[in-house]
């Protein structure tokens, strides 16, 4: 079996007047993430990791922030398209291990729902998705609550 590993990272600024989307779900918060799409940093990091593992460049290459087609798009659509893209090279998702860095809101209460949503979006078992949450101990832009970042590591396997 041919397996590959990929790593992804994304960050977006927190602003007023936007919904906060994380892991495919809307989280009640006074601020949301600024971006061309819905700015779901967790999904974006996962997409980059999947594309990197398949040696298919990055999310901005496939879904540019200059395209009207991706303006305000639901990132779950980007994730489905990413899984379809890696499938064109014969790969399936093995597992995902991701970390969200945010001071507020607290992400841990939302992790089970995120896992369910991502598993349904990808078409995999929830046990193949690990999501963790951490803070930066009030240090840096995350600590000042200026933005949220996410990291993802994935394993993909060749099916043919």
The pLDDT tens digits for 7-63 are 999 999 999 999 999 999 999 999 999 999 999 999 999 999 999 999 999 999 999
- The answer to the question of whether 141 is labelled as a binding residue is yes
Which residue's structure tokens are 């089970």? 112
Give the relative orientation of helices 41-53 and 75-87 as an angle to the nearest 10 degrees: 10
Domain that includes residue 153, residue range: 3-158
Q: Give yes or no for residue 88 having a pLDDT over 70.
A: yes
Q: Number of folded domains in the chain?
A: 1
Express as a percent the part of the chain with pLDDT over 70: 99
Q: Give yes or no for residue 1 having a pLDDT over 80.
A: no
Mean residue pLDDT across the chain: 96
- The answer to the question of whether 29 is labelled as a binding residue is no
53 vs 66: CA distance, rounded Å: 25
pLDDT of the residue at 150: 98
147 vs 75: CA distance, rounded Å: 18
- The answer to the question of whether 93 is labelled as a binding residue is no
Beta strands across the sheet bearing 129-134:
32-33, 3-15, 147-158, 91-101, 129-134
- The answer to the question of whether 57 is labelled as a binding residue is no
pLDDT of the residue at 159: 87
Q: Give yes or no for residue 148 having a pLDDT over 80.
A: yes
- The answer to the question of whether 63 is labelled as a binding residue is no
pTM of whole model > 0.95?
Answer: yes
The three-state secondary structure class of 103 is: coil
Domain with residue 51: its CATH number is: 3.30.1330.50
Beta partners for residue 149, in sequence order:
11, 101
The DSSP symbol for 127 reads: G
Between 109 and 160, where is the model more confident? 109
């Amino acid at each position: 079996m041919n397996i590959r590993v990929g790593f992804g990272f994304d960050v977006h600024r927190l602003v007023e007047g936007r919904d906060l989307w994380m892991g495919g779900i809307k989280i009640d918060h006074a601020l949301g993430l600024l971006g061309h799409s819905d700015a779901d940093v967790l999904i974006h990091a996962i997409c980059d990791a999947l594309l990197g593992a398949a040696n298919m460049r990055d999310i901005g290459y496939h879904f540019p922030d200059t395209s009207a087609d991706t303006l305000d798009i639901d990132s779950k659509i980007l994730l489905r398209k990413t899984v379809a893209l890696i499938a064109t090279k014969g790969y399936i998702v093995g597992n995902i291990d991701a970390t969200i860095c945010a001071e507020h809101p607290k992400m841990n209460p939302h992790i089970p729902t995120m896992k369910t949503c991502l598993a349904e979006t990808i078409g995999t078992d929830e046990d193949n998705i690990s999501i963790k949450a951490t803070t930066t101990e009030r240090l840096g832009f995350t600590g000042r609550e200026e933005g949220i970042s996410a990291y993802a590591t994935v394993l993909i396997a060749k099916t043919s």
